[in-house]
Every structure is written in structure tokens, then in C-alpha cells.
């Protein structure tokens, strides 16, 4: 079994999202309110945000394989814990542990993939790009398969989506053991201080990645409320998310095949997210337009995030790559500490369609902000 295949299987196991379409339904079935779920999400986001840079630093210091072991074991512990949640203290504990895990895995798969690809090809950069594409494609496949089945698993047992996620993480540990370490040439690269590593180009790449992350991830807080509002069953909500995963798969596949320059692609990705949010909100349109818009949002999000992953990976080294990728999540996470709970409260107070309308306007502003960031980045280089 080749390195790329083993890496892809591990990515698939870690990226399964049996929990994603049903975690809010699970909490509601356990007696929690949307407001309490939004509070837990805010706590999770705060913990994940605070832990981003320390976790990236740790991964760069102990190496990718040891970080991967921690991630796999941590995933199992986290999702077994979530399956047992019945009280508010338990909810806060579980989502806090989840935040720690999120920080640990943030940037790890992309960094490890880039470095494995760099070692496997004569043109190291081309190999790195290919492995990052594989990482994103496998993540989309995992999302597709798990989301199609999530509703059915939930109807069998409300805890099954979470326990199965934990079991899969444990199952691929032998494959993780068999993955190669990063080459000595990469391991022995000179360590560059963080301030020195944050060149003008790197700061621009991190800012761009954070904007795309905020635009595409924040609104996912209200996907499930939207499905419930239009009368979808848990199984049908899973199929809605599966469509979102197919769009992400197409988006990841398009990376490297779109002949436009990177700046144009990034600006259009956020503009596309804004347009799709508007399509969900727009009154008077058929319900199918809203659902199609939600699904298509995944394409724009996947294109933007994959381009940013490659950009940051190209500019960094094995000694700081995970930390630089974590800085993207950190910057975006600071913003999402506020945006995701606010969107949840808007959906709770009015409805999910209103939340999409608000976010369409915000993403229009983010599109302009991203254009300004990229323009200034080009100016500083020239």
C-alpha cells in the first residue's frame, strides 16, 4: 500500500463527519436549547482559538507522526465523551475537550501531507500540492459518505454517529504507525523565529485564509436549523449535507485546473459564498433554490480554503508549517468566537433564513476586504 493511499485513508477516517448533520439535533434531543448549544459552540471556539498556536508549535517540535498519534487517540476520547453528554456541565466539558482536539488537528494533515508529497516527488512543490489536493479530496469523500449515512445512523441510535467516529480513529492507528517520517533534509531546516517567518507575503496569505475560513465556516452553524425549518427529517438533512460535500469534492478537484490567478480565485470564492447565502435568504424564491444555493456554497468554500492551504504551505518550512497554518485558524477563530453564536442566536430569535440574509451582507463586505488585503499584498511585494 503506497504512502499516498495510506495517508488518504487516515485523512478519510479523521475527516468523517457522522456527527456534523446531527450534533445540534442530538443536543436538542438531550434537552438542550439552541441557545445552550450556541454557548457550547462559543466555548469550543474560544478553547480551539487559544490552543491554535501552542498546538501548531507542539506539532512542529515533536514531529508529524507523534502529533498524528495524539490526534487519533484524542479523537476517540472526545467522541466517546460527547456520546455520554446529558448535563450542561458535561456539555461544557465535552466541547472544551473537543476544542483542544480541534487545535491539535488544525493544520496537521495539511502540513504532513505537504511534507510527504515534497519528499515523494522530484519537484517537491508539485508533490506537496498534489498531497494537499488529496487531503482535501479525501476529506470531501469522507464527508460525503458519512453525511449520507449520518441520519440513518442517528435513527438507529442517537449516540452511534459519535461512537463510530471514535472507533474509526482507533482503527487507523496501525496505518499511522506505518507512515514515513518527514525526510532528514526537511527536519534539519533552520528554525526561523515567528516574527521573521511572518513576511509580508505570509501575512497576506494568513489574512486571506482567515477571511475565507470565516466566510464559509461561520454560516454552517445554521445549516441544521434551516433543514428543520423546511421540514427535513434527520436523514434528509444528511443528504443535504452530502450535497454540500459533493460540491466541496468538486471544488478540491478544480484546484490546479482553474487557469485564473490565485487572487481572482480567492476573491470569487468569498463572493460566491455571499451570493449563495443570498440565494438561501431571498424571499419569493422556490425552496429548492435555497437548498441548491446552500449545497453550492461548498464549492466556493473548498476552492478558497485549498488555495490558501497551498499558499501558506509554499511559504513556510517544516519547522514552522503547522504553526503558520494554525495562525490562519487562530485569526479566523477569533472572529468566529463572535460570528457563530450570533448567527445561532439570529436563527433562534427569528429564523435560519434571516441568518443567511445577514451573512450574505457580511460576506459581501468580506469580499471587498479580501480584495483590499490582496491588493495591498501585491503592492508591498512590488
Query: Which range has the top average pLDDT, 150-154, 182-186, 350-354?
Result: 350-354
> What's the CA gap between 264 and 17, in Å, rounded?
31
pTM of the model: 0.78
Closest CA to 297 of 266, 268, 275, 264: 275
Domain at 3-174+192-381: CATH code? 1.20.1250.20
- pLDDT band, very low/low/confident/very high, at 41 (cuts 50, 70, 90): confident
* 242 in Cβ contact with 20 (< 8 Å): no
pLDDT tens string 129-141: 888 888 888 988 8
Q: Exposed, middle or buried by CB within 10 Å (0-12, 13-18, 19+), for 220?
A: middle
Question: Residue 201, Cα to own-chain centre: how many angstroms?
Answer: 23
pLDDT tens string 76-88: 999 999 999 999 9
> What's the CA gap between 35 and 50, in Å, rounded?
23
DSSP letter string over 199-262?
-HHHHHHHHHHHHHHHHHHHGGGGHHHHHHHTT--HHHHHHHHHHHHHHHHHHHHHTTT--S-H
Q: Exposed, middle or buried by CB within 10 Å (0-12, 13-18, 19+), for 365?
A: exposed
DSSP letter string over 368-382?
HHHHHHHHHHHHHH-
pLDDT tens string 96-155: 999 989 888 878 888 898 888 887 766 556 778 888 888 888 988 888 888 788 888 988
* 373 in Cβ contact with 208 (< 8 Å): yes
Strands (E), the chain: none
Closest CA to 10 of 161, 182, 171: 171
* 378 in Cβ contact with 263 (< 8 Å): yes
Residue in this structure with the C-alpha cell 468523517, named with its chain if needed: 16
> What's the CA gap between 164 and 166, in Å, rounded?
5
> What's the CA gap between 301 and 250, in Å, rounded?
11
Cell of 90: 458535561
What DSSP state is assigned to residue 189? S
Per-residue model confidence (pLDDT) at position 124: 56
Amino acid at each position: 500500500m503506497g504512502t499516498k493511499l495510506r495517508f488518504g485513508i487516515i485523512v478519510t477516517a479523521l475527516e468523517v463527519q457522522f456527527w456534523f448533520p446531527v450534533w445540534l439535533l442530538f443536543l436538542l434531543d438531550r434537552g438542550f436549547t439552541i441557545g445552550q448549544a450556541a454557548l457550547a459552540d462559543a466555548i469550543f471556539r474560544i478553547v480551539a482559538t487559544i490552543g491554535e498556536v501552542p498546538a501548531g508549535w507542539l506539532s512542529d517540535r515533536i514531529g508529524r507522526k507523534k502529533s498524528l498519534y495524539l490526534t487519533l487517540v484524542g479523537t476517540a476520547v472526545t467522541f466517546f465523551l460527547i456520546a455520554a453528554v446529558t448535563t450542561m456541565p458535561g456539555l461544557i466539558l465535552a466541547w472544551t475537550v473537543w476544542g483542544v482536539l480541534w487545535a491539535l488537528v488544525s493544520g496537521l494533515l495539511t502540513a504532513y501531507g505537504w511534507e510527504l508529497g515534497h519528499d515523494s516527488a522530484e519537484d517537491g512543490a508539485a508533490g506537496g500540492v498534489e498531497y494537499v489536493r488529496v487531503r482535501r479530496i479525501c476529506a470531501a469523500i469522507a464527508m460525503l459518505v458519512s453525511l449520507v449515512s449520518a441520519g440513518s445512523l442517528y435513527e438507529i441510535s442517537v449516540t452511534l454517529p459519535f461512537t463510530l467516529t471514535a472507533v474509526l480513529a482507533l482503527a487507523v492507528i496501525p496505518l499511522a504507525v506505518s507512515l514515513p517520517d518527514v525526510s532528514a533534509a526537511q527536519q534539519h531546516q533552520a528554525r526561523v523565529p515567528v516574527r521573521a517567518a511572518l513576511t509580508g507575503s505570509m501575512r497576506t496569505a494568513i489574512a486571506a485564509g482567515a477571511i475565507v475560513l470565516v466566510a464559509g465556516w461561520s454560516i454552517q452553524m445554521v445549516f441544521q436549523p434551516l433543514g428543520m425549518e423546511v421540514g427535513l427529517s434527520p436523514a434528509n438533512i444528511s443528504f443535504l449535507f452530502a450535497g454540500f460535500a459533493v460540491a466541496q469534492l468538486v471544488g478540491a478537484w478544480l484546484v490546479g485546473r482553474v487557469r485564473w490567478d490565485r487572487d481572482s480565485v480567492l476573491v470569487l470564492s468569498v463572493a460566491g459564498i455571499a451570493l449563495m447565502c443570498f440565494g438561501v435568504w431571498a424571499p419569493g424564491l422556490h425552496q429548492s433554490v435555497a437548498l441548491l444555493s446552500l449545497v453550492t456554497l461548498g464549492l466556493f468554500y473548498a476552492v478558497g480554503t485549498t488555495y490558501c492551504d497551498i499558499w501558506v504551505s509554499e511559504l513556510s518550512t517544516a519547522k514552522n508549517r503547522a504553526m503558520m497554518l494554525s495562525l490562519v485558524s487562530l485569526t479566523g477563530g477569533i472572529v468566529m468566537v463572535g460570528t457563530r453564536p450570533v448567527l445561532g442566536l439570529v436563527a433562534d430569535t427569528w429564523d435560519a433564513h434571516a441568518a443567511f440574509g445577514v451573512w450574505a451582507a457580511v460576506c459581501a463586505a468580506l469580499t471587498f476586504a479580501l480584495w483590499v488585503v490582496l491588493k495591498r499584498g501585491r503592492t508591498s511585494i512590488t
